Structure 1
Amino acid sequence: MATPPSRAGTKGVPRARREEQILAAATEEFGSRGYAAASLPAVAARVGVTKTLLHQYFGAKQDLYLACLTPVGDRLVAVIRAAVAEGAATAAGTPLLVLRAIFTALEGRREAWFLVYETSLPPDSEAARRAAEYRAAVNRLAADGTAGLLAAAGHEDPLDADALNHVWQGLVATLVRWWIKHPDQSPDAMARRCARLFAVAAALAPTAAQGDVPGNPLGDRAD
């Protein structure tokens, strides 16, 4: 259990600022290496403090992970929900709104995306339970959004909706991974790139007039 907070910091750094530094370093460490491989000494070294101080501020490794996960998960669920609602209300391209919201929320801490999808957390831990809750919330939003896109295009096959949901979530994770490898790409640049890719995909998809395969519902609302 972490010690009660105080205003005192280390080396003249206010405690609140030091905690921000630790959380930023730990988020990058956990996100890039995973929970099991992440090293608390490495986190401490990034910040220039001791491992003992990490425990004093945040408790055990699981507690530190949870402290990193909670703001990330809360923000991702909130921005995805808002983007889905905006797309439904304005008939805008919901997939692009969601992607732009995700990129914007993750800017400055891109690896944080993977905290929600970490597989090496102790299964009975509070961190694992909370991560599962965030994944379930994102999955529900994705399922509702992809089903809505298909319904708007006149297709209500539940297996189509399930398949599109899986494709969409895999696409988002792949795009985030690509974005991490290209740190020069801003959220706006990524959103524009995705719009171009969606437009190409829509142009390549066969239309109903060309065969039995319907046009791409994502492309129909990508403008």
Structure 2
Amino acid sequence: MPRPTVARRSNAGTKGVPRAEREGQIVQVATEVFGTLGFAATSVADVADRAGISKPLIYNYFGSKEGLFSACLHRAGAILAGELERVARGDAVGLERALRTLEGLFTLLEPQPWIWRLFFDPTVPRGEEGIAAEIALYTDRITALADQGVGEMLRLAGADDPLDVAALTAVWLAVADSLVTWWLDHPDETPASMTERCVRLFGVVLGAPLPAHVTAD
């Protein structure tokens, strides 16, 4: 299979750019490279070439390949958690909230699928302290949101056993991950068509009435 390619961005290292802004540019580029090629297959030289900067500049800013990857996780995690929190602030509850969460993820990830793949790359050295800390931070943040939504759904059904909430939260996280991963492997599926597919699948599996409105017309 041909090695995935990421187009070179020639202006990311332009002189005169403030350090904070340049760091952000590098992290944005590196997130795409790591998420496309995978951690093990990506070198600092790959990122530098893609960003149009020198390798020493990356080491100066981030210290190491692992430090750069940690910064990418921080950015990607904030984007993902921010979308989930946006849905949580809405008025959808129960199954409708679950479907709106998936819809939000599909829409968010369509132009930047590498954000999701960054967290599920099997070649990532998860024992490295900085990387482990970032993964734990956003795993806990996202799990707390899932726990909140699942707990709300169970309470609506008259169930409030904490172990039931914990068990169903684990199920929901696995289902959401599987659906998003399947969708990323089927790029012809649009966010709208994938959301409609989820509505159908949930209806079949749960045998429950589904929200009449999930996506905008």
TM more than 0.5: yes
Q: Is the 8 A contact 1:80 1:101 kept in 2?
A: yes
Unpaired runs of at least 5, structure 1: 1-7, 204-218
Decide whether aligned partners of structure 1 residues 201 and 87 sit closer, same or farther in structure 2, where only a CA change above 3 A counts: farther
Which of residues 119, 127, 130 is equivalent to 2:131? 127
- Corresponding letter in the other structure for 2:113: R
User: For residue 111 of structure 2, what is the aligned residue in structure 1?
Assistant: 108
Superposition pairs of residues 146-185 of structure 1, within 5 angstroms: 146-185=150-189
The offset of 1:190, in angstroms, is 2.0
Q: Is the 8 A contact 2:12 2:53 kept in 1?
A: no
Unpaired runs of at least 5, structure 2: 1-10, 213-217
The offset of 1:145, in angstroms, is 0.9
Superposition pairs of residues 167-206 of structure 1, within 5 angstroms: 167-203=171-207
Which of residues 67, 84, 90 is equivalent to 1:80? 84
Cα distance in 2, alignment partners of residues 74 and 9 from structure 1: 22
Superposition pairs of residues 45-56 of structure 1, within 5 angstroms: 45-47=49-51, 50-56=54-60
- Corresponding letter in the other structure for 2:71: A
Decide whether aligned partners of structure 1 residues 66 and 195 sit closer, same or farther in structure 2, where only a CA change above 3 A counts: same
1:38 aligns with 2:42: yes
Q: Is the 8 A contact 2:95 2:153 kept in 1?
A: no
Q: Is the 8 A contact 1:99 1:172 kept in 2?
A: yes
The offset of 1:100, in angstroms, is 1.4
The offset of 1:50, in angstroms, is 4.9
1:98 aligns with 2:97: no
User: For residue 66 of structure 1, what is the aligned residue in structure 2?
Assistant: 70
Q: Is the 8 A contact 1:198 1:222 kept in 2?
A: no
Q: Is the 8 A contact 1:87 1:93 kept in 2?
A: no
The offset of 1:14, in angstroms, is 7.9
Decide whether aligned partners of structure 1 residues 50 and 201 sit closer, same or farther in structure 2, where only a CA change above 3 A counts: same
RMSD: 3.2
What's the TM-score, normalizing by structure 1? 0.71
Q: Is the 8 A contact 2:12 2:51 kept in 1?
A: no
Q: Deviations over 1:96-122 (max 9, x none)?
A: 111112222223221212434566335
Q: Is the 8 A contact 1:19 1:57 kept in 2?
A: yes
Q: Deviations over 1:46-82 (max 9, x none)?
A: 4565544543554421221123222221121122122
Q: Deviations over 1:18-65 (max 9, x none)?
A: 867644442234335543453333334545655445435544212211
Q: Is the 8 A contact 2:84 2:145 kept in 1?
A: yes
What's the TM-score, normalizing by structure 2? 0.73
Q: Is the 8 A contact 1:31 1:115 kept in 2?
A: yes
Q: Is the 8 A contact 2:48 2:58 kept in 1?
A: yes
